[in-house]
Amino acid sequence: MKKMNLGAMALAGVLTCSAPALAVDLNAYGNIKLGTFWTQNNFYNAAGDKRHDSDFSLDNFGDSFVGVKVKEGEYSGVAELGLYNPKAYSKGVEVRLLFAEWDFGQGKLRIGKTPSPYVFRSQQVWDSDGGFNGYGSLWDGRYANIKVTMNNGLYVTAMQPRVGNQANNTTNVSPNADVTAAYSQTGNSYQTTYTDYDTMLPKMVVGYEGKLDNWSYGGGVAGNMYKVTSSVNDSTPIKHDIYSYLAFFHGKVDLAPLEFSYNVFAGQNTGDLMSTATGNGTGNTLANPGQANGAYYDVLHGKNSHTYGGFGQLGYRVTDRATLYTGASYVVDDNSIAHTDARMASFVNVNYAVGKHFNIVPEVDYINDFKNSLGQKEPRSLIAGAKWQMSF
């Protein structure tokens, strides 16, 4: 990672020095964010007994970043480095965005690492500008993709395929490498006990983004497919074909000084399509209390899960410096033999511009995970604090 970061900085330096000779437009930018929050959690054991804990935190936001934009004729590119989430400091600096784009006249072709097209976030700032991550925004990270966007708003995206919440496509490799390494995608070491996740096609997203007067809107469908094969001590392999899909719709109505934003979606095995996008758990069977959130295909019983949810948000510009936002979300995961796993989040904040490049956002949040797919109570959280942000 250090070598990559040094290389990226060196490349940026070379581009900066050679920009005039290459007739390249080069612009640097950044956004540094910090949070001061008080959090109180109520949580429960399997019998429903309650405990609570509360803490004050002062830490960097994981989505603080610096970047550079480059443009030369019909070609452009973006490289952006940012902090990892404060819960993962050991991973160091993250390459948030890295893509190039070609404007071919009737549309644009983009290749590289970007967020998924179905992501639509709220103005919630808690948890590093969480925006209802895991609670209705469909956020699932940034992955390699090829996207073609036509001038009429229609787009098609081929993305890195997903295999649920697994870190690798197989346990049958040596060494057990990271999911983003090409050679980790296919087994190369014979083991008597193994689980393989076989992918055949990219994850596909087809959608449309448009605008009608004061209404900006978008929507589309996404699909992903993979096979799971597992065996214990060379026993007869158990196989599952896992199909997942998502339909999504989002938009914003601007009736200044009032605005309304929304995001709604429904799908099958959405955890297998988007990793942890729709839930905050990591289990993919019903045998793991506290983690089985119901968004994944249940390999234990051979059952599909179904998810629906979304959020609504109101904004009101109080003054030229202050905008009030409030929103609420609700998401449900379910399958035919499990308890419904529902969760909600809500917030109210004021985005106040102290200066041209300095904003403070005081906020109050309430989050309720209700019960998991085993019918056990999950945490409730009350949060109050503020985001501090400077941009350049």
Q: For 103-152, how does the pLDDT look when each residue is reduced to its tens digit (9 = 90+)?
A: 999 999 999 999 999 999 999 999 999 999 888 898 888 889 999 999 99
Instruction: Find out whether the peptide bond into 175 is cis, omega within 30 degrees of 0.
Output: yes
State mean pLDDT over 234-262: 95
More confident residue, 161 or 92: 161
Instruction: Write down the mean pLDDT value for the chain.
Output: 84
Distance CA 161, CA 290 (A): 27
pLDDT band at 2 (very low <50, low <70, confident <90, very high): very low
Contact yes or no for 356/342 (Cβ under 8 A): no
Q: Assess whether pLDDT exceeds 90 at residue 198.
A: no
What are 251-273's pLDDT values in tens digits? 999 999 999 999 999 999 988 88
pLDDT at residue number 284: 36
Report the alpha-carbon distance of residue 376 to residue 289 in Å, rounded. Answer: 8
The answer to whether the bond into 257 is cis (omega within 30° of 0) is yes
Say whether pLDDT at 64 is over 50. Answer: yes
Judge whether residue 340 has pLDDT over 80: yes
Predicted confidence at residue 140, as pLDDT, reads 84
Contact present, 238 and 230 (Cβ < 8 Å): yes
* Cα–Cα dist 58/44, whole Å: 26
150: Cβ–Cβ under 8 A, 6 or more apart, which residues? 106, 107
Query: What pLDDT is attached to residue 275?
Result: 59
pLDDT tens, position by position, 280-323: 333 333 333 233 346 888 888 888 889 999 999 999 999 999 99
Classify the C-alpha dihedral 95-121-139-366 as positive or negative: positive
Tokens for 137?
């925004």
Distance CA 244, CA 161 (A): 11
Q: Classify each residue of 313-342 as buried b or exposed e, where b means 16 or more C-beta atoms within 10 Å of its C-beta.
A: bebeeeeeeebbbbbbbbbbbbbeebbebb
* C-alpha distance from residue 46 to each of 71, 358, 375 (Å): 56, 46, 9
d(CA 385, CA 38): 6
pLDDT of residue 285: 35
User: What does the DSSP 8-state code read for residue 303?
Assistant: B
- Reported pTM: 0.85
**DSSP 8-state class, residue 23:** T
Under 8 Å CB-to-CB from 339, ≥6 apart: which residues?
Answer: 294, 371, 372, 373, 374, 375
Q: Is residue 391 very low, low, confident or very high in pLDDT (cuts 50, 70, 90)?
A: very high
200/161 Cα distance (integer angstroms): 9
